[in-house]
Structure formats: C-alpha cells, structure tokens
C-alpha cells in the first residue's frame, strides 16, 4: 500500500457516515491490543477554544521535556496535522503502517457496523502514540464528548473549554443538552476543569462532576490575571486566549503531583505556542496582510469581532467570507458585515457550503454602504481584495485551510482538505443500540 492508497482508503471511509457511540471504537481498540492502556491523556472538549487549549498544553509539556502526542481535528490542509508527536506531523510511511495494521481488524466488522473515518483514525492515533512511546497525549474530542470516539480513554484530567451553540442537530437545541454531551467526558474521580461561563451549562457540568465524584475547577475571567498567569506572554493573539491559557495552566498545576512542571517552563511553553488559523496574520510579498481566523459559529464570531476591534479599531477592512450551510450563517453575516467596507463571499470547498449569493443578500442587508460581491473562488476574492486594507478571511476552518494552501504553500506538504468532509449518520450508544444523540 502506498501513501496515496492509504489516503484513498481513508477517503472511502466517509461512505460509512458519522456514527456517534463508543462500541465500534472500543471493539477496534480491543482488537488492536488496547493501546490506550499504555498512554496518559488530557481529554479536551468544548464548543470553541479546544484546539488552542490543546496547543498550549502540548507546548507547555514539550517545554518540560516530555514526548507529547497531539490529536486534533479537523486538519487545515494535510491529514498529518491530526496526529502529531512533539509537533511533528505523522510521517506518510507511518500513516501507511498504522492503516495497514488496522486493515485486517476492520475486516472483522459486519458491513453495516463498519467503523467510520473518525473511529478508524482515533485508533490509528492511539497505535501511533503508543508506538512512539509518548509520555502524554493531548486528546481533543471530535464532536460533543459523551458519544465521541475519543471517549474510550480514561484521562488524567477532563477539560471543557466552554459551552455555546453549535452542532445543535447532533448535540441538542439547548445549552443544557449541549453541556450534558460535552460533560460526558468527565470520568469518576478524575479531576475536571472548565472555563464555561453560561450558568445553565455550568450547572449541568457541576452536577455531572458531583455525581461522578470528580473534583471540579472552574476558571473565570479573574484567573486571566495574576497570580495564575503571572509573567506569562502568550504567543497566540486575542484577549480570549488568556482564558484558554488560564485553563491550560490550571490543568498543569492540578496535575503537578503526577507530572511536575516548573513555572518557568509553563511560561516558556505559553510563549512558544504555534496554532495556525486562529487570528493568524500572514504578510504578503507586495505588502499588506491577511488575517485568518476559523470562526465557524456565533461564539467564535463574537470573539473575532472583539479581536478585530482591538487590533484594527475603526480601520477599514476587507472581509472574505465562506460558511457552511449547517451553521447559523445569517446571524454570522449580520454580525460581521458591519465591520467591513468590502465583502467578498465565496463558496467553501465542501458539499455543505452555504451559497455565496445567499451570503451576499444578508451582508447587503446588514451593511448597505459596503461593496458586496460574490466570487467564484478564494483566489479571485484575494485578487479583488488587493492590498489597500487589511483582509480578513473567516467563516470556516475549511476556508482558512484553503487560504493557507494558497498563501503559505511552503508551510504545507499536501492539500488533503477533502478528508474533512463528513455526512450525517446515526448515533450508536455503547451497547450498539441506535439512539438520538440528545
């Protein structure tokens, strides 16, 4: 099997849709020898900020000299971004090896119970991290938590960054239901930490933690000031990252008895974090700059609006916007459009993309004074944007990945963004019974 064959095999797994539940992942991991039992984890769930918090934790523990695995999703450009050891993407040869290890095991599943793409790569990652003898794995949920494939592990700590509206069709229409799904990663007796602030969500998280005897630490805006973040200089931009950093630092301190980390190394790690696509600024050769941010729901948009106001003030902006149809794209457009003098909606490279002409109509209604014009491609939009004002590309991590592939090709290896595509499916409980996720 070549690397191209392996990627095609992974792509073919999309036909099995999305099945929430632990039965398949547990069975596949059991067949693979339970690699999760040879690893230590910090499990991270939440609506926004999961990736940034994971990146901070990874950087801190790597600065402390540990060999750290990092499992995140989606990838921006290359599949290997999902599975990293000490921030080195899994090598192509290792992708082939790990998938080859699982192929005979996948043949033991009935066709109607075949593991999905995410279930397979979850066990691939476990095998890889075990083979690489990782001291610690920073382990991000894919969607939700309770029935997410990543929830087969027993971590050192369970983190919930925040709870807001996103993926309601899967997680439930209320914050209480969404919180219940995310708090499903909390394990009996295992420390839990959260930066959630919505009272209705926090009440659910606290209730589940109490019921499972899991000591709960709640991080608030007060923790973004000394002493918790005393002396810290954050590499990631935006006020919101201070709360993510506070959650990461509180986690490190909670686990200090098991994995000691000196405060100096905590600060070094926070100052060296690299996490593309989140308020990332790229300087163009001819001058000017493009800011990339994967704000893909209303909570993310609110954070982006605050960051843009902080960075640019009342300076005129050019907005390139692409959003998925299953997001609250009208509300996102209405919030972002007033910030820009020029707006170029584009189609995200996804079967789930919202139509640019629909975005145009909402943006014009929200900002009648702006120049609003749909573009057939991101490349066309960037060409029209020029370099007369700061350009902001946002609305979807898929669009940010495309921008990185166009503007920073030296930082990418292969463009494997289509692997991010997934379709709806059923939700399977741990006993194999099909149930609604919420």
Mean pLDDT across the chain, nearest whole number? Answer: 91
The answer to whether the beta carbons of residues 105 and 34 sit under 8 Å apart is no
Taking only the tens place, the pLDDT of each residue in 349-358 is: 888 899 999 9
Residue 414 lies in a domain: yes
CATH, residue 124: 3.40.1190.10
Same domain for 298 and 388: yes
- pLDDT reported for residue 350: 87
Among candidate residues 218, 244, 270, the one where a domain is terminated? 270
- pLDDT reported for residue 314: 81
Q: How confident is the model at residue 410 (pLDDT cuts 50, 70, 90)?
A: low
Q: Per-residue pLDDT for 334 more than 50?
A: yes
Q: Per-residue pLDDT for 427 more than 50?
A: no
Same domain for 143 and 86: yes
- pLDDT reported for residue 233: 87
Q: How confident is the model at residue 288 (pLDDT cuts 50, 70, 90)?
A: confident
Among candidate residues 270, 294, 326, the one where a domain is terminated? 270
Average the pLDDT over 160-176 and give the result: 88
Same domain for 165 and 101: yes
The answer to whether the beta carbons of residues 315 and 389 sit under 8 Å apart is yes
Residue 114 lies in a domain: yes
Q: How many structural domains compose the chain? A: 2
Same domain for 377 and 322: yes
| Contacts by 197-202, CB closer than 8 A, 24 or more apart | 197/162, 197/221, 198/162, 198/163, 198/164, 200/174, 200/175, 200/176, 201/163, 201/175, 201/176, 202/163
Q: Per-residue pLDDT for 369 more than 60?
A: yes
Q: Per-residue pLDDT for 62 more than 90?
A: yes
Same domain for 302 and 220: no
CATH, residue 387: 3.90.190.20
Q: Per-residue pLDDT for 170 more than 60?
A: yes
- pLDDT reported for residue 351: 87
Positive or negative: CA dihedral 63, 69, 72, 77: positive
- Give the residue with greater pLDDT, 272 vs 389: 272
User: Where are the strands (E) in 296-419, listed by range?
Assistant: 318-321, 342-345, 371-372, 391-394
- pLDDT reported for residue 112: 87
Across 115-129, 271-285, 329-343, 424-438, least confident range:
424-438
- pLDDT reported for residue 20: 77
Q: Per-residue pLDDT for 286 more than 80?
A: no
Q: Per-residue pLDDT for 434 more than 80?
A: no
Residue 137 lies in a domain: yes
Residue 110 lies in a domain: yes
Task: Report the DSSP beta bridge partners of residue 84.
Answer: 70, 89
Taking only the tens place, the pLDDT of each residue in 292-325 is: 999 989 999 999 999 999 888 888 899 999 999 9
Q: How confident is the model at residue 118 (pLDDT cuts 50, 70, 90)?
A: very high
Same domain for 261 and 355: no
Residue 300 lies in a domain: yes
Same domain for 293 and 190: no
Query: pTM for this one?
Result: 0.92
Q: Is the peptide bond before 88 cis (omega within 30 degrees of 0)?
A: no
Residue 208, token pair as written in the block: 């589940």
- Give the residue with greater pLDDT, 235 vs 124: 124
Q: How confident is the model at residue 411 (pLDDT cuts 50, 70, 90)?
A: low
Average the pLDDT over 66-83 and give the result: 96
- pLDDT reported for residue 420: 86
Q: Per-residue pLDDT for 433 more than 50?
A: no
Range of the domain at 299: 280-420
- pLDDT reported for residue 413: 59
- pLDDT reported for residue 437: 36
Identify the helix (H) or strand (E) that includes residue 93. helix 92-106
Same domain for 300 and 263: no
Residue 426 lies in a domain: no
Q: How confident is the model at residue 155 (pLDDT cuts 50, 70, 90)?
A: very high
Residue 436 lies in a domain: no
Closest among 73, 69, 62, 43 to 129, alpha carbons compared: 69
The answer to whether the beta carbons of residues 44 and 159 sit under 8 Å apart is yes
Among candidate residues 229, 248, 270, the one where a domain is terminated? 270
- pLDDT reported for residue 166: 81
Same domain for 311 and 266: no
Say what percent of the chain tops pLDDT 70: 94
- Rounded CA-CA distance 296/163 in Å is 14
Residue 435 lies in a domain: no
Same domain for 231 and 200: yes
Same domain for 245 and 191: yes
Average the pLDDT over 173-199 and give the result: 96
Same domain for 253 and 287: no
For 51, 195, 196, 298, 310, the CA distances from 183, given in Å and listed in that order, are 17, 12, 11, 21, 32
As a whole number of Å, the end-to-end CA separation of the chain is: 40
Taking only the tens place, the pLDDT of each residue in 90-102 is: 999 999 999 999 9
């Amino acid at each position: 099997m070549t690397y191209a064959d392996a990627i095609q095999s992974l792509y073919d797994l999309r036909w099995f849709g999305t099945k929430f539940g632990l039965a398949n992942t547990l069975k596949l991991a059991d067949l693979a020898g339970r690699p999760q039992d040879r690893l230590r984890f910090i499990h991270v769930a939440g609506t926004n900020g999961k990736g940034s918090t994971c990146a901070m934790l990874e950087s801190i523990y790597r600065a402390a000299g540990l060999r750290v695995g990092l499992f995140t999703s989606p990838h921006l450009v290359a599949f290997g971004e999902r599975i990293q050891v000490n921030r080195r993407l899994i090598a192509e040869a290792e992708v082939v090896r790990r998938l080859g290890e699982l192929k005979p095991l996948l043949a033991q599943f009935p066709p109607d119970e075949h593991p999905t793409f995410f279930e397979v790569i979850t066990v691939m990652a476990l095998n890889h991290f075990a083979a690489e003898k990782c001291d610690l794995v920073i382990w991000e949920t894919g969607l939700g938590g309770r029935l997410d494939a990543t929830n087969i592990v027993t971590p050192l700590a369970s983190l919930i960054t925040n709870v807001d509206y996103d993926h309601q069709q899967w997680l439930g229409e209320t914050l209480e239901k969404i919180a219940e799904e995310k708090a499903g990663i909390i394990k009996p007796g295992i420390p839990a930490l959260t930066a959630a602030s919505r009272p209705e969500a926090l009440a659910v998280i606290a209730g589940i933690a109490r019921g499972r005897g899991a000591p709960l630490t709640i991080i608030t805006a007060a923790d973004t000031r000394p002493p918790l973040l005393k002396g810290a200089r954050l590499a990631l931009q935006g006020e919101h990252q201070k709360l993510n950093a506070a959650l990461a630092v509180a986690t490190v301190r909670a686990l200090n008895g098991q994995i000691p980390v000196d405060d100096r190394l905590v600060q070094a790690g926070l100052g060296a974090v690299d996490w593309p696509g989140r308020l990332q600024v790229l300087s163009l050769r001819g001058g000017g700059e493009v800011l990339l941010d994967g704000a893909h729901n209303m909570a993310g948009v609110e954070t982006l609006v605050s960051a843009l106001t902080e960075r640019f003030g009342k300076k005129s902006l050019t907005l390139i916007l692409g959003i998925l149809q299953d997001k609250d794209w009208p509300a996102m457009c209405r919030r972002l459009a007033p910030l820009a003098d020029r707006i170029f909606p584009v189609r995200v490279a996804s079967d789930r993309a919202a139509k640019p002409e629909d975005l145009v109509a909402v943006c014009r209604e929200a900002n009648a004074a702006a120049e609003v014009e749909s573009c057939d491609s991101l490349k066309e939009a960037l060409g029209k944007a020029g370099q007369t004002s700061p350009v902001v590309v946002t609305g979807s991590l898929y669009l940010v990945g495309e921008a990185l592939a166009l503007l920073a090709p030296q930082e990418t290896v292969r463009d494997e963004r289509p692997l991010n595509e997934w379709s709806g499916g059923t939700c399977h409980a741990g006993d194999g019974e099909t149930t609604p996720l919420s």
